[in-house]
Structure 1
Amino acid sequence: MLSASSPPQAYEVLSKRLRSIEDIPLKVSAVQPLDSAFRYTSVYPPEPHPLAEEKASDRRTLKTFAPSCIKPLEVMIQLEGSGNWPTDEVAIEKTKTAFLLKIGESLQNDWGMTCIASEDSVNVLVSGYAFRLKIWHERGLSLLSKESGNDLSNRTSLTDKQLFIQSQHSSMISGLQARHSIYGPVVRLAKRWIASHFFSACLVEEAVELLVASIFLKPLPFHAPLSRITGFLRFLRLLSEYDWTFSPLVIDINNDLGANEEKEIAVRMC
């Protein structure tokens, strides 16, 4: 029998267990979900899978049809600060791998959780869901600006940069969703339309979320949408009428940019 937990509930269980791990050199200081399911913009919200249950009895007998693959929900981990981290980018990545292996081992030993490790992440099964744990370290981001001829070094730096961008994006979209409850349904409808017209290769889901955000942040001459249909129609109107060739669309979710800064961005992009 499947558990009745939702992704946020399963995430809370995982987050508490990660923070309580004691047998690693640096404790987990922050945990953040990055998957769109946690910001309510996933077209098909994940459902618990019988093979991802923590109880062994749930794995032995499948009474209903279940997909053969489980989509992992990405989660970013940040560790306590320390001056003992290596300065080399490749060494940083290897150190993060060692931490992930130890975290997975602790979860298995302390709570009997199933963990599957890879070179840059650990997949953990919790209450019917699979979570993919990745570690972000700020030093890897600071080293990104340094030139390097090593392809592996470039890849590891870009990994930290990508995690940082995902973290910022997820936080901003979650905040917008909290202010506009209809935002999530509009995004899901927009993503479904994009996919049905085979535009997914051109517009990744984060881009769709930002495009929809613009009609809530700058709704003039209208008010912010109050229904999913209204929001979806304005999304289509934005795609069809905006001057994409000469006017970059600046989306300032947190109102951090002034008028001069937006103009400067527009000049640089043109």
Structure 2
Amino acid sequence: MNFLANSKVWAKGLVIQPMKKRTVTKEDIANLLKTFDVAVCDVSGHVNLAFRMTNLCLTLISFNVQLQDEASCTLHYLDKCRDDEFEKLFMTKVDICAKFDSCLRINLKGSSKFTEISFCMDDESWRILEKDVQSLLQQGLTDRTKMIRVLWRSTPSEWNIMDGFSEFGGSPLLVGLIISSLEKSFRLVDIGPNPENRDEEILGEKAELRRFKDGTIAESTVWESKSWEKHTIIKRIADYVLMKHLSLENKDLIHVVDQLDFCLLVNGQDPVSSSGTLLEAFDTLAKQLRLLDDIPLKISTVQPLDSAFRHTCVFPPEPHPLAYGKSSQRLPNFATTCIPSLEVMIQLEGSGNWPLDPVAMEKTKSAFLLKIGESLTNYNRQNALTNYHKNDRFLRLLSSFDWTFSPMVIDINNDFNLKDEKEINENFMLSRKSYEQNPHDIERAMFLATSYDKASEAWTKISPSKSVLKRMASYAKSSTELLTNLILNGQSGQYTWECLFRTPMSNYDAVVLLHQEKLCDPQHVLFPAETPNGKLVTWGKPSKDFHPYMPLNKGAVKSLHDARDKLLCAFPKTFKMWYGSVGGDAVGLTWENPKKRSREDADETMPEPMSILKEVGDVGKGLVRGIYLLKAPKLQ
């Protein structure tokens, strides 16, 4: 493995013969390399074991080698080998969708070069197209990508020799891309060669001569994009180059990169464009906090904690209308009732007067927060809080990881030692002591260990439960299969990209449909819920108590979260609620622990499901559009 990863003799050819008995000369190897891209002679010296191997398998940008890259990665992970790493490295298949950051499907039937190909020639001319695509993409993308792999399964998987070559070439050509870095891949300007050393223009009319600040004059290409569209620059370059040089149409190129962007747009724009305003608001708040001088201890550090500061929030907060000021023309008539708060951590200067009792310490912290809030209010400035993609690999990990018998170790800084791993394993085994007594009720069903939390206390102590984790893994598995099919084969029938965000209603025992126009963020509902195939229990009209917007001078209206909280209090052990945290007009209900209730107990204590659902409708009156019963509780 070390030889594969670090050897530089691939370009010279390999001979599997003892040095003392070698019959293959350097001239023989040179002749082989004239005929084949890669030469690996067997013991006899007459057979090239790598006669089917091409430079597409071996040569990559900067003369790296894909085989060597794989071997190097394998050595890296073997150095940190745990109990099951060998099976993951050598026994687990890695699909092209999971290996590469982006995939491109090319339908070559419309290309003039495709019609010139003969599938029965000795030099396998269909591989010429692979080389052409490889070369074009390498020249067009330059250092934006670390690896480009072109693969064409031109031979049908189920081919009858009597059919001849009529079915050959029907499959699309697949291209896998691994980006080098975000800075290089998402840059807006490509600077080309000096005009005196001008090569053949790969980008044609897209390139233009420009003078830069340092005085240099060079060919350059500008790919203008909005901040939330930079991830499509590689797609635009690849599409342009292939359409220009292979006579392809736009419909022949399917680049899997932006198919899911629609779910992040609000009013046609990605809220991430407000990230700059958000960071400015945080900086303003941090400065105000550090300047406060009327609190017992000075504030030394202010750190952001919310996911919006890390650019991982699904719908980042946008500047609130009140932040524009009274004289602004941008002030709308209505403001959303849902004003998100963003968590930050405040660290005070050191002191030896803190109480040791936990309750007293919490009260002291609360007193500090109240004083800080009062001081900010008196600061006579605007409150800073009013200003303001991946993927297939994660789904595979979520669905295939053995959460019951293995801890997930997250070593971000690569600083774990044997002592840390031993401590993590001991904490994990301690959390699994209850498994033998009750396999269905495991504390910390998802065990995530980090350098600062080796017992998985911070993230997963309370949730998810075993049943929730099982449902998450099931959804992740089906979503992975759908994603793989969409990437490799495209859309087929009703199963499209949108299905990734549409949960089947048949998975629930009952479904509560809500009035979309009464939700806090109705624009976050991607797809209105369809009427499920069940018995309609009750229905209701929308009420004025629930409204997604409030007049600026009318005060707050009834909170939309009250209905959910009341349901949780009224039916704590009757059913489990399933709802979307970022948007959705449906709530799924599953009966809680049906196997633990006997028929006799159910007759005495368990109300009829119809009456339960009617009570649910009464609690959510004005918000509930309809309640449907799909499955009655199961009894032993």
Q: TM-score, normalised by structure 2?
A: 0.23
Amino acid at match of 1:25: P
Is 1:80 aligned with 2:349?
A: yes
Alignment-derived partner of residue 34 in structure 1: 305
Aligned pair partner of 2:293 in 22, 32, 39: 22
How far did residue 7 of structure 1 move? 1.4
Q: Equivalents in 2 of 1:249, 1:48: separation in Å?
A: 37
Amino acid at match of 1:105: E
Is 1:250 aligned with 2:509?
A: no
Is 1:233 aligned with 2:492?
A: no
Structure-to-structure mapping, 1:182-261, within 5 angstroms: 185-186=389-390, 232-259=391-418, 261=420
How far did residue 46 of structure 1 move? 1.0
Alignment-derived partner of residue 266 in structure 1: 425
Match of 1:77, SS state, is strand
Task: Work out whether residues 37 and 46 of structure 1, in 8 Å CA contact, stay in contact via their aligned partners in 2.
Answer: yes
Amino acid at match of 1:239: L
* Unaligned stretches of 5+ residues in structure 2: 1-273, 430-636
Match of 2:408, SS state, is coil
Amino acid at match of 1:39: R
Shift in CA distance, 48/102, structure 1 to aligned 2, threshold 3 Å = same
Alignment-derived partner of residue 111 in structure 1: 380
Q: Equivalents in 2 of 1:29, 1:92: separation in Å?
A: 19
How far did residue 241 of structure 1 move? 2.4
Amino acid at match of 1:70: I
Q: Equivalents in 1 of 2:360, 2:325: separation in Å?
A: 37
Shift in CA distance, 19/264, structure 1 to aligned 2, threshold 3 Å = closer
Q: Equivalents in 1 of 2:385, 2:416: separation in Å?
A: 40
The runs of 4+ residues in structure 1 deviating greater than 6 Å are none
Match of 1:23, SS state, is coil
Alignment-derived partner of residue 366 in structure 2: 97
Alignment-derived partner of residue 8 in structure 1: 279
Amino acid at match of 1:128: N
Structure-to-structure mapping, 1:130-169, within 5 angstroms: none
Aligned alpha-carbon RMSD (Å): 2.7
Alignment-derived partner of residue 387 in structure 2: 128
* Unaligned stretches of 5+ residues in structure 1: 114-123, 130-184, 187-231
Aligned pair partner of 1:49 in 304, 320, 324: 320
Task: Work out whether residues 54 and 127 of structure 1, in 8 Å CA contact, stay in contact via their aligned partners in 2.
Answer: no
Alignment-derived partner of residue 213 in structure 1: none
Task: Work out whether residues 342 and 385 of structure 2, in 8 Å CA contact, stay in contact via their aligned partners in 1.
Answer: no
Shift in CA distance, 21/97, structure 1 to aligned 2, threshold 3 Å = same
Shift in CA distance, 99/109, structure 1 to aligned 2, threshold 3 Å = same
Amino acid at match of 2:332: K
Match of 2:378, SS state, is helix
Q: Equivalents in 2 of 1:84, 1:57: separation in Å?
A: 48
Identity %: 59
How far did residue 106 of structure 1 move? 1.9
Task: Work out whether residues 294 and 375 of structure 2, in 8 Å CA contact, stay in contact via their aligned partners in 1.
Answer: yes
Amino acid at match of 1:126: L
How far did residue 127 of structure 1 move? 4.3
Shift in CA distance, 87/57, structure 1 to aligned 2, threshold 3 Å = farther
Task: Work out whether residues 302 and 347 of structure 2, in 8 Å CA contact, stay in contact via their aligned partners in 1.
Answer: yes
Q: Equivalents in 2 of 1:263, 1:32: separation in Å?
A: 31
Alignment-derived partner of residue 208 in structure 1: none
Larger radius of gyration: 2
Aligned pair partner of 2:336 in 62, 67, 92: 67
Q: How many residues align?
A: 155
Q: Equivalents in 2 of 1:32, 1:73: separation in Å?
A: 11
Alignment-derived partner of residue 36 in structure 2: none
Q: Equivalents in 2 of 1:250, 1:46: separation in Å?
A: 32
Shift in CA distance, 244/88, structure 1 to aligned 2, threshold 3 Å = closer
Deviations 1:186-210 (A, max 9, x none): 2xxxxxxxxxxxxxxxxxxxxxxxx
Shift in CA distance, 240/101, structure 1 to aligned 2, threshold 3 Å = closer
Task: Work out whether residues 32 and 76 of structure 1, in 8 Å CA contact, stay in contact via their aligned partners in 2.
Answer: yes
Match of 2:286, SS state, is helix
Shift in CA distance, 128/247, structure 1 to aligned 2, threshold 3 Å = same
Amino acid at match of 2:336: P
Q: Equivalents in 1 of 2:377, 2:394: separation in Å?
A: 46
Match of 1:73, SS state, is coil
Shift in CA distance, 76/57, structure 1 to aligned 2, threshold 3 Å = farther
Match of 2:337, SS state, is coil
Q: Equivalents in 2 of 1:71, 1:251: separation in Å?
A: 29
Name which structure has the greater RCO, CA cutoff 8 Å, separation 6+: 1
Task: Work out whether residues 308 and 317 of structure 2, in 8 Å CA contact, stay in contact via their aligned partners in 1.
Answer: yes
Q: Equivalents in 2 of 1:267, 1:85: separation in Å?
A: 33
